[in-house]
Amino acid sequence: MTTLFISDLHLDAERPQTTALFGQFLRSEARGADALYILGDLFEAWVGDDDPSETGAYVAAELRALADSGVPVSFIRGNRDFLLGDDYARRAGMRILPDPAVVVLYGQPTLIQHGDLLCTDDVAYQQFRAQTRDPAWQAQFLAQPLAARLAFAQQARAASKAHQSGLRDAGTMETITDVSPATVDSVFARYGLVRMIHGHTHRPAVHELDVAGSARQRVVLGDWYDQGSVLRVNRDGLQLQALS
């Protein structure tokens, strides 16, 4: 049997083909899995569980059908859907895990996370992240009318694009928006594990590392902008592949 990992689907109404691909994946390969883990940014934006979007309703129904078929579904919030709450999780039949979390995969303890906490060189983003993860900020934001929250999400996406454009102009995009090697090393040391799985950076790869003289493995999931990406883990190892 196999455990599946995906992240960074960025589903929204403007990319219906990706939503359809995800639904097909849930109704086919995922039905035979031991478990499915979604490591953040399932949606392009999430402004509260009261958003009546058709995409959100479709995804909840498809995930609930998978969970009802006997496949456990777990979710870690990403930087785009950090406001996804317990109400939606119940509708979708999935459990929300802390970021990061440790899971045991066929006897191998593994650290899983969205991945943005590893990008510590992007100081501006880390400051924004700290602000928006504050419970008081979230309560105040969620108390606003839905229209105001949707407008904020659009502004936040525009600000993110402007920030990345500035990094590209400065020639620092590749380094600032990727993980910090020193942070990766410190996380491995803190948890004492040999394998880490995350998304966020949209740089799919399996990195074999040496951390303080010990072998470590960091697996980066791909995004679903141009095609799907899935990591399959079983007793024999792992396989990271594109999904089309």
120-137: average pLDDT:
94
Q: Is the entire prediction scored with pTM above 0.75?
A: yes
**Sign of the CA dihedral 194, 199, 201, 204?**
positive
Name residue 110's beta-bridge partners: 103
Long-range (24+ apart) CB contacts under 8 A made by 27-30 are 27/62, 27/65, 27/66, 29/4, 29/230, 30/4, 30/66, 30/71
In the sheet that 205-211 helps form, which strands lie side by side, from edge to edge?
A: 101-105, 108-113, 195-198, 214-220, 205-211
Q: Which band of pLDDT confidence, cut at 50, 70 and 90, is reported for residue 157?
A: confident
Inform me whether the pLDDT recorded for 189 exceeds 70. yes
Inform me whether the pLDDT recorded for 174 exceeds 70. no
Residue 28 is predicted with a pLDDT of 97
101-112: average pLDDT:
97
| 170 contacts 79 by C-beta, under 8 angstroms | no
**Sign of the CA dihedral 49, 55, 57, 63?**
negative
Find where tokens 């990403």 sit: 78
CA distance 161 to 73: 31
Inform me whether the pLDDT recorded for 177 exceeds 90. no
Mean pLDDT for the chain overall: 94
* Other residues' Cβ atoms within 10 Å of the Cβ of residue 95: 13
Residue 221 is predicted with a pLDDT of 98
Give per-residue pLDDT as tens, 14-24. Answer: 999 999 999 99
**122, 44, 130: which is closest to 80 by C-alpha?**
44
Contacts of 12 (CB under 8 A, 6+ apart): 43, 44, 45, 55
Q: Which band of pLDDT confidence, cut at 50, 70 and 90, is reported for residue 170?
A: low
Give per-residue pLDDT as tens, 199-229. Answer: 999 999 999 999 888 999 999 999 999 899 9
| 222 contacts 242 by C-beta, under 8 angstroms | yes
Our measurement of the distance from residue 30's CA atom to the centroid of its chain's CA atoms, rounded to an integer in Å, reads: 17
Residue 154 is predicted with a pLDDT of 87
Q: Which domains does the chain have, with CATH numbers?
A: 3-243 (3.60.21.10)
**106, 94, 87, 110: which is closest to 40 by C-alpha?**
94
Give per-residue pLDDT as tens, 50-98. Answer: 999 999 999 999 999 999 999 999 999 999 999 999 999 999 999 999 9
